[in-house]
A and B are shown apart, each in its own frame.
Chain A
């Protein structure tokens, strides 16, 4: 085929190139904004509290969001594909409980963890089945699973935390150890997020996730098997909850059946603040992680400033609302 008409005007093309594109598309305006906000918070807090900018506080903050960050990644990918999962908190707890019970029953902790992760993957396929085959909405299916998984946690433990005092030190190392002064949890978190961010940006597999979430029908009309995509992102999210649960177990040395209540809201908020859309098709891992960090820095700051925990929820909610509103207006102006 040869050229049919006049070509695109290359000068206007260059002129209209946005900042994001010049940076190779790696960082978008939203992420720059989040980084600036976090930097300002750091600056203000380091004046407001002498404890804020200490190694111990930084470490505690990082530990607080590192494991949850793994769930945030799963949620972000699921949101991009057009789904949502309310069960992440209780599925994470269930992973702890399953691994804990198996360990107490004499199973090797690594094997018990593997079994717990597999069980969570199973829960993901279960939800994926109801969403893609039966045709129910993610919201309803995961709401039901959220309650069921929590019930299973309480049933399995009688509602009491399982003390796992005999966990071998090499297993606890995952949650409590450090390499060169950096906690293993944080190393896992960094490796995991960098890898998933790269995959989400660059692999054809995850490009199909974006297509599916952006317009499921158009994706189907492009030959993409959208149900398979949604099935896989649903399963992936639950599987990552399994990972997180096992790491939490190693960190706490116990399995807590009530752990993670309300986690889903925090995780969804982080992803959305970071640019994921509830209608699918957009979101980045970098953004979602920055959202997680922002929420975590805010919580930590408020705690250091002796603000009541009740206020903390109100402030977190307000941040979410502000971020989403700002996003809405930004998009409206651009569109």
Chain B
């Protein structure tokens, strides 16, 4: 008989009131494997993880570690069983040193009266050596997000963990940082740690994981060996139907237009970008690629006058615009969809209707500046219908919607002013596969209807799949443009990450 799996879950169910979040779920994790969990938002992934981590008690079902049944009543119990959890959101104390953060739970449990900082730093250094070059005495605030994430991993490793859960760890990382993270994950798996990896990104799962378990509507669907399956198959089992094509059709050659909708020339900002010039043609979806921190968002926000001291010219339909703040830009029909939906894109506690009218309250008002609620409601419902927004009624708070529908409200907000050009910053971040495809279709539809669409994305497959043309930004400058067959991940990465001289050298 072979040795029992590291973690075996069978018949697990969990309900919240009438909502059955998990129904008879089974799952098996072997030592040393990287096991992906895939599913749309609301499929039950995080509930399952919370049960494993002792945050939620299951209603029924059996959890075994090394073949022995265990109960996990609290996160502390999970730690003692060797289960570590690297949460999606970083939960570190920014004004405390790396070492102290790493040993926070141990310090908490310790009986000693005084802190032994030197010992703490030495032990932290030993653990960090496995992960990368981070100074244990540095303040967490001074670290980049990817470094902070490594500190989170180090925290989990101090607890002698044998099972490590990663919840969408690459959401905030650049491509290069993500690669580094995967190296570390592979290394940990090599040491015999079982890794549970939650992600929406098929490419990541297929490049790095050994097996994938798919959940849908709280039910276990299947577990597949990665080498023996395809992304299409996984996506199909996630959504319960076959999505014929993940991306909408692109512009055909005969549909391409030479009419220039938006022209940006010599746009400069003191600290973040310089000499930005490009044209947006009618009907096309233009992508902006590059690493996080390259200045993509800054350029776009600069065009809209949302931030920065910007110089340079922007013209729409050949007419130069004079913009001083974002209000002018909205009035001219140029709008920006923020990458941080919850942070600065939406008013979560306000109604869907109020959110949709935020960009131009005047449009739903009478002459005397009074809001016409009926007009507001009607407008919200009309735009909601165009985007097939799924909601009870437009008076309900946005916080009650799923991520994908929240994003549709954010897009509806843009559409409420009949924009001529929309800049979308990471339009599908944190949105599940089904809603993502839908948002892509909406963008293509808008482009066909003559609205200029510019998409910033860190997800290369998305850029390549959705855009007709991609500009690449590196260190605040446009370093290249790719179209048609030249739109490959490799080409974009080269333009995004290598300095010109390096590129020439590698070409030579």
**Residue ranges of A at the interface with B (Cβ–Cβ < 8 Å):** 1-8, 12-18, 21, 25, 201-205, 207-208, 210-211, 214-215, 217-225, 281-282, 335
Q: 16 more A-B contacts (CB under 8 A) besides A13-B392, A21-B393, A335-B399?
A: A2-B386, A4-B387, A6-B388, A8-B388, A8-B391, A13-B393, A18-B395, A25-B395, A203-B369, A207-B361, A214-B350, A218-B358, A221-B306, A221-B336, A221-B338, A224-B327
Given contacts A218-B345, A221-B306, contact A8 B389 (CB under 8 A): yes
Find out whether the CB atom of A204 lies under 8 angstroms from the CB atom of B361.
yes
**What's the least CB distance linking B304 to chain A, in Å?**
9
Interface centre among A13, A210, A218 (most CB of B within 10 A): A218
Question: What's the Cα separation between A21 and B395 when bound, in Å?
Answer: 8
B327 interface neighbour in A6, A211, A223, A282, Cβ under 8 Å: A223
Total residue contacts A-B, CB cutoff 8 A: 119
Find out whether the CB atom of A225 lies under 8 angstroms from the CB atom of B349.
no
- Chain B residues 65-85 with CB under 8 Å of chain A are none
Stretch at the interface among B18-26, B40-48, B184-192, B439-447: B439-447
- Assess whether B343 is interfacial by the CB under 8 Å rule: yes
- Chain B residues 331-376 with CB under 8 Å of chain A are 336, 338, 343-350, 354, 357-362, 365, 369-371, 373
The digit string for B32-61, where 1 denotes a CB below 8 A from any CB of A, is 000000000000000000000000000000
Chain A residues within an 8 Å CB radius of B397: 335
Find out whether the CB atom of B442 lies under 8 angstroms from the CB atom of A282.
no
Find out whether the CB atom of A5 lies under 8 angstroms from the CB atom of B392.
no
- Assess whether B330 is interfacial by the CB under 8 Å rule: yes
Chain A residues within an 8 Å CB radius of B381: 8
**Smallest Cβ-Cβ distance to A1: which chain B residue:** B449
Find out whether the CB atom of B349 lies under 8 angstroms from the CB atom of A214.
yes
Interface size, chain B (Cβ < 8 Å): 52
Chain A residues within an 8 Å CB radius of B330: 222-223
- Assess whether B396 is interfacial by the CB under 8 Å rule: yes
Given contacts A203-B369, A215-B348, A221-B336, contact A17 B395 (CB under 8 A): yes
- Chain B residues 116-147 with CB under 8 Å of chain A are none
**What's the least CB distance linking A103 to chain B, in Å?**
37
- Chain B residues 379-418 with CB under 8 Å of chain A are 381, 384-393, 395-397, 399-400, 413, 415
Find out whether the CB atom of B392 lies under 8 angstroms from the CB atom of A12.
yes
What are the 8 closest A-B residue pairs judged by CB atoms, nearest first?
A5-B388, A16-B392, A217-B344, A214-B347, A204-B361, A222-B358, A223-B327, A223-B330
**What's the least CB distance linking B402 to chain A, in Å?**
14
A8 interface neighbour in B344, B384, B438, Cβ under 8 Å: B384
**Residue ranges of B at the interface with A (Cβ–Cβ < 8 Å):** 306, 325-327, 329-330, 336, 338, 343-350, 354, 357-362, 365, 369-371, 373, 381, 384-393, 395-397, 399-400, 413, 415, 438, 441-442, 445-446, 449
Question: What's the Cα separation between A208 and B362 when bound, in Å?
Answer: 11
Question: What's the Cα separation between A7 and B391 when bound, in Å?
Answer: 10
**What's the least CB distance linking A200 to chain B, in Å?**
11
Chain A residues within an 8 Å CB radius of B413: 222
**What's the least CB distance linking B460 to chain A, in Å?**
26
A204 interface neighbour in B345, B365, B384, B388, Cβ under 8 Å: B365
Find out whether the CB atom of A223 lies under 8 angstroms from the CB atom of B347.
no
Question: What's the Cα separation between A261 and B441 when bound, in Å?
Answer: 61
**Smallest Cβ-Cβ distance to B390: which chain A residue:** A8
Find out whether the CB atom of A5 lies under 8 angstroms from the CB atom of B306.
no
Given contacts A202-B370, A203-B369, contact A219 B385 (CB under 8 A): no
**Smallest Cβ-Cβ distance to A331: which chain B residue:** B349
Find out whether the CB atom of A223 lies under 8 angstroms from the CB atom of B359.
yes
Find out whether the CB atom of B393 lies under 8 angstroms from the CB atom of A16.
yes
Find out whether the CB atom of A221 lies under 8 angstroms from the CB atom of B393.
no
Chain A residues within an 8 Å CB radius of B395: 17-18, 21, 25
Question: What's the Cα separation between A18 and B373 when bound, in Å?
Answer: 16
Question: What's the Cα separation between A17 and B394 when bound, in Å?
Answer: 10
**What's the least CB distance linking B355 to chain A, in Å?**
9
Find out whether the CB atom of B329 lies under 8 angstroms from the CB atom of A223.
yes
B354 interface neighbour in A13, A14, A210, Cβ under 8 Å: A210
Chain A residues within an 8 Å CB radius of B354: 207, 210-211
**Smallest Cβ-Cβ distance to A213: which chain B residue:** B347
**Smallest Cβ-Cβ distance to A205: which chain B residue:** B369
Find out whether the CB atom of B346 lies under 8 angstroms from the CB atom of A204.
no
Find out whether the CB atom of A217 lies under 8 angstroms from the CB atom of B329.
no
Chain B residues within an 8 Å CB radius of A7: 385, 388
25 residue pairs from A and B, CB less than 8 Å apart: A1-B386, A1-B449, A3-B385, A3-B386, A4-B441, A4-B442, A5-B388, A5-B438, A8-B381, A15-B392, A21-B395, A25-B395, A202-B371, A207-B357, A207-B371, A211-B358, A214-B347, A219-B358, A220-B306, A220-B344, A221-B338, A223-B326, A223-B330, A225-B325, A281-B347
Find out whether the CB atom of A5 lies under 8 angstroms from the CB atom of B344.
no
Find out whether the CB atom of B387 lies under 8 angstroms from the CB atom of A204.
no
**Smallest Cβ-Cβ distance to A5: which chain B residue:** B388
Find out whether the CB atom of A281 lies under 8 angstroms from the CB atom of B389.
no
**What's the least CB distance linking A258 to chain B, in Å?**
39
Question: What's the Cα separation between A18 and B329 when bound, in Å?
Answer: 37
Given contacts A21-B395, A214-B350, contact A225 B358 (CB under 8 A): no
Given contacts A211-B358, A219-B358, contact A281 B350 (CB under 8 A): yes
B344 interface neighbour in A1, A6, A201, A218, Cβ under 8 Å: A218
Chain A residues within an 8 Å CB radius of B386: 1-4
Find out whether the CB atom of B347 lies under 8 angstroms from the CB atom of A211.
yes
Question: What's the Cα separation between A2 and B400 when bound, in Å?
Answer: 27
Question: What's the Cα separation between A223 and B304 when bound, in Å?
Answer: 10
**What's the least CB distance linking A47 to chain B, in Å?**
41
Chain A residues within an 8 Å CB radius of B361: 204, 207-208
Chain A residues within an 8 Å CB radius of B385: 3, 7-8
Question: What's the Cα separation between A331 and B463 when bound, in Å?
Answer: 39
Question: What's the Cα separation between A116 and B330 when bound, in Å?
Answer: 40
**What's the least CB distance linking B507 to chain A, in Å?**
41
Question: What's the Cα separation between A203 and B306 when bound, in Å?
Answer: 25
Chain B residues within an 8 Å CB radius of A218: 338, 343-347, 358
Find out whether the CB atom of B336 lies under 8 angstroms from the CB atom of A204.
no
Question: What's the Cα separation between A68 and B348 when bound, in Å?
Answer: 32
Question: What's the Cα separation between A17 and B360 when bound, in Å?
Answer: 26
Question: What's the Cα separation between A1 and B414 when bound, in Å?
Answer: 14
B345 interface neighbour in A221, A223, A281, Cβ under 8 Å: A221
**What's the least CB distance linking B198 to chain A, in Å?**
23
A16 interface neighbour in B344, B350, B396, B399, Cβ under 8 Å: B396
Question: What's the Cα separation between A217 and B344 when bound, in Å?
Answer: 5
Find out whether the CB atom of A281 lies under 8 angstroms from the CB atom of B371.
no
**What's the least CB distance linking A97 to chain B, in Å?**
36
Chain A residues within an 8 Å CB radius of B348: 214-215
**What's the least CB distance linking B409 to chain A, in Å?**
11
Question: What's the Cα separation between A5 and B386 when bound, in Å?
Answer: 6
Question: What's the Cα separation between A282 and B329 when bound, in Å?
Answer: 28
**What's the least CB distance linking A7 to chain B, in Å?**
5
**What's the least CB distance linking B147 to chain A, in Å?**
25
**What's the least CB distance linking B431 to chain A, in Å?**
16
A221 interface neighbour in B344, B365, B373, B399, Cβ under 8 Å: B344
